[in-house]
Amino acid sequence: MPALPQPSRLSLWLDLIRWNRPAGWLLLLWPTLSALWVASGGFPGWHLLAVFTLGTILMRSAGCCVNDVADRDFDRHVKRTAQRPVTSGKVSTKEALAVGAVLALAAFGLVLTTNALTIALSFAALAITLAYPFAKRFVSMPQAVLGVAFSFGIPMAFAAVQGTVPAQAWVLLLGNAFWVLAYDTEYAMVDRDDDLKIGMKTSAITLGRADVAAVTGFYLLHLAIWTAALWPMLRPVAWLLALAAALAQVMWHFTLIRDRSREGCFTAFRANHWLGFTVFAGVVVGLA
């Protein structure tokens, strides 16, 4: 029987950065673009749009490399992650870190075209990104750390546009962190049984039977905080229509996760980029 062809290095690298699963970088992109529009009072210009779109994709990809190296000994015990390139041995840890470093440097090159404050904030963003994979060993709610990491594009967007980070940016970061808590808890609910066996700490384990109520509450806090922060500057009708569409999605997510099935929770997690897009659309139309 002929041997199966081995995947190319490029295909392995694309698998490493989850290139075939764009939902991950969309979760980062929509709140970052929303912040760009808010900071600019409308369209931010092609330069900043390109910098933050490409930078988001590159940094999420670099984060995947670091995460897979950090979790390689855990991932082999989880059905969903056992065949990831680093865990399966198809990509070495040094190779994965090298790919991640190249991607992070490319993102930094984009940041260098902005201003000093944005550059300084990029170092804080990198530090949080590197810390998150290890938080799962020590923090009972590591999704909160991810919430800060996945929301840091918001103050960076304000810094790039305004040269400062106003209180509004930090309020939006807080609100977005609750959204990350919601969808990453759904993600953790998928792997809860495996994570319990290997001693991983996640919000799904910490929350226990309160997980469904907590996820729903996190969604509502996200939308409430963003509404409070943005209401004075958006057209009410546009925002209320977007808010209604977002709340309808929250109700749908509740129906998906209330039985705590792997399939339902994973479907809910993967659909979150639509909620992010809905909020972004509300911002764009509300500022038009």
Q: What is the CATH number of the domain that holds 157?
A: 1.10.357.140
Let me know if residue 4 belongs to a domain: no
Let me know if residue 256 belongs to a domain: yes
Let me know if residue 265 belongs to a domain: yes
How many folded domains does the chain comprise?
A: 1
Let me know if residue 3 belongs to a domain: no
Query: Residue holding tokens 């998906």?
Result: 256
Residue 74's pLDDT band, with cuts at 50, 70 and 90, is low
Reported pTM: 0.91
Residues across the chain:
288
How does pLDDT run across 154-213, given as a tens digit for each residue?
999 999 999 999 999 999 999 999 999 999 999 999 988 887 887 788 898 999 999 999
The rounded mean pLDDT for the chain is 90
Cα(157)–Cα(110) distance, integer angstroms: 13
How does pLDDT run across 27-72, given as a tens digit for each residue?
999 999 999 999 999 999 999 999 999 999 999 999 888 888 877 7
* pLDDT at residue 87, as a whole number: 81
How does pLDDT run across 199-227, given as a tens digit for each residue?
788 898 999 999 999 999 999 999 999 99
* pLDDT at residue 103, as a whole number: 93
Answer whether residue 1 shows pLDDT above 60: no
Let me know if residue 2 belongs to a domain: no
Answer whether residue 3 shows pLDDT above 50: no
* pLDDT at residue 2, as a whole number: 46
Which residue type does 14 have?
Answer: L
How does pLDDT run across 103-151, given as a tens digit for each residue?
999 999 999 999 999 999 999 998 988 888 888 777 888 888 889 999 9
Let me know if residue 244 belongs to a domain: yes
- Domain assignment of residue 171, given as a range: 9-287
How buried is 97 (Cβ within 10 angstroms: 0-12 exposed, 13-18 middle, 19+ buried)?
Answer: middle
Please enumerate in sequence order all residues whose Cβ is within 8 A of that of 136, keeping only pairs 6 or more positions apart, or say none: 71, 142, 200, 201, 202
Let me know if residue 172 belongs to a domain: yes
Let me know if residue 200 belongs to a domain: yes
Q: How far is CA 208 from CA 182, 196, 260, 266, in A?
A: 14, 11, 11, 17
Around 6, how many Cα atoms within 13 Å sit in the side-chain half-sphere?
6
